[in-house]
Structure 1
Amino acid sequence: MSSNQHFVVIGGGLGGAKLAEALRANDFDGHVTLLAAEEELPYERPPLSKQHLAGTQQLPDFTVDQAAWYRDHNIDLRLGTTATAFDPAARTVTLPDGSTLSYDKLALATGSRPRTLPIPGADAPNVYTLRTIGDSDVLAEVLRSRRQLVIIGAGWIGLEVAAQARARDVAVTVLEAAELPLVGVLGPEMGAYYAEVHRLHGVDLRLNTKVELIRTDDGVATGVQLGDGTVVPAEAVLIAVGAQPNTDAAAAAGLAVDGGVLVDAALATSDPNVVAVGDIAEQQHPVLNRRVRVEHWATALNQPAVAALTMLGKPAVYERLPYFFSDQYDVGMEYTGYVGRDDDVRVVVRGDLTGNAFVAFWLDPQNRVRAGMNVNVWDVTTRIKELILAGEPVDPERLADTSVKL
Structure 2
Amino acid sequence: MSETGIVVVGAGQAGLQAAASLREAGYGGLLTMIGDEPSLPYQRPPLSKAYLAGKVDATGLFLRAPGFYADHGIACETSVEAVAIDRAARRVRLSDGRDLGYDHLVLATGSRNRPLPVPGTELAGVYQLRSIADADRIQAAIGEARSIAIVGAGFIGLEFASICAARGLSVTVIEAADRPMARAVSEPIATFFREVHESAGIRFLFGGGVQAIEGWAGRAASIVLSDGATCPADLVLIGIGVLPNQDLAAEAGLHVEDGIVVDSVLLTDDPSISAIGDCARFPTRFAAHGTARVESVQNAIDHGRCLAARITGRPAPYDAVPWFWSDQGGHKLQMVGLPGPSDVSVRRATAGGFTVFRYRGPHLTGIETVDSAAEHMAARRIIARGLSPTQDEAADPTFDLKALAMGRGGA
- Alignment TM-score, normalising by the size of structure 1: 0.95
- Residues 286 and 338, structure 2, Cα contact 8 Å, conserved in 1: no
1:271 is aligned to: 270
Aligned positions of 1:168-247 closer than 5 A: 168-247=167-246
Deviates more, 1:181-190 or 1:99-108: 181-190
- Deviations 1:74-119, CA, capped at 9 Å, x for gaps: 1111110120011222211001122211100000111111111121
Question: What is the one-letter code of the residue matched to 1:290?
Answer: G
What is the alpha-carbon distance in structure 1 between the residues aligned to residue 52 and residue 201 of structure 2? 19
In the aligned structure 1, how far is the partner of 2:364 from the partner of 2:42? 34
**Match for 1:378: what amino acid?**
A
Which amino acid in 2 is paired with 1:361?
Answer: F
Distance 2:223 2:45 in 1: 27
- What is the aligned partner in structure 2 of residue 106 from structure 1? 105
Q: Does 1:321 align with 2:318?
A: no
SS in 1 for 2:384: helix
Q: Which runs of 5+ in 2 are unaligned?
A: 402-411
SS at 2:148's partner residue?
Answer: strand
On the 8 A contact 2:82/2:92 being kept in 1, the answer is: yes
User: Which residue is equivalent to 2:96?
Assistant: 97
Q: Following TM superposition, by how much is the alpha carbon of 1:303 offset from its aligned partner in structure 2, in angstroms? A: 1.1
Q: How many percent of aligned residue pairs carry the same amino acid?
A: 35
- What is the CA distance between 1:192 and its match in structure 2? 2.5
User: For residue 137 of structure 1, what is the amino acid of its counterpart?
Assistant: D
Tell me which residue corresponds to 1:338.
Answer: 338
Q: CA deviation at 1:393?
A: 4.0
Matched, 1:373 2:368: yes
Greater alpha carbon shift after TM alignment, 91-100 vs 157-166: 91-100
Q: Which residue of 1 aligns with 2:32?
A: 33
Give 1:395 deviation, angstroms: 2.6
Deviations 1:274-303 (A, max 9, x none): 111111111111555710111112111221
Cross-structure match for 1:150? 149
What is the aligned partner in structure 2 of residue 402 from structure 1?
A: 397
Where 1:299 maps in the other structure, the secondary structure is: helix
Matches of 1:384 and 1:305, distance apart in 2: 22
Provide closer, same or farther for how the CA distance between residues 376 and 187 of structure 1 changes in structure 2, counting only shifts above 3 A: closer
Q: Secondary structure at the match of 2:243?
A: strand
Query: Greater shift after overlay, 47-56 or 298-307?
Result: 298-307
- Provide the C-alpha distance between the structure 1 equivalents of 2:321 and 2:374, rounded to a whole number of angstroms: 17
Q: CA deviation at 1:305?
A: 0.7
Distance 1:38 1:204 in 2: 35
The answer to which of 116-125 and 308-317 deviates more is: 308-317
The correspondence of residues 47-196 of structure 1 with structure 2, limited to 5 A, is 47-196=46-195
TM-score, normalisation: structure 2: 0.93
User: Which secondary structure state, in structure 1, belongs to the residue aligned with residue 89 of structure 2?
Assistant: coil
Question: What per-residue deviation string (whole Å, max 9, x for no partner) do you get for residues 197-234 of structure 1?
Answer: 22121111000012100001111110001122111011
Cα distance in 1 for residues equivalent to 2:61 and 2:189: 30
Pair 1:351–1:200, CA change in 2 (3 A): same
Q: Where does residue 357 of structure 1 map in the other structure? A: 353
Determine helix, strand or coil for the equivalent of 1:304. Answer: helix
Query: 4+ residue stretches of structure 1 with deviation over 4 A?
Result: 286-289
Q: Contact 1:108–1:275 at 8 Å: present in 2 too?
A: yes
Structure 2 CA distance, aligned partners of 1:317 and 1:61? 34
**TM-aligned CA distance change 1:356 to 1:221, over 3 Å:** farther
Deviates more, 1:56-65 or 1:379-388: 379-388
* More displaced 10-residue stretch of structure 1: 291-300 or 394-403: 394-403
Q: Distance in 1 between matches of 2:286 and 2:228?
A: 48
Letter paired with 2:108 = A
Q: Distance in 1 between matches of 2:348 and 2:373?
A: 13
How far is the alpha carbon of 1:392 from its aligned partner? 4.4
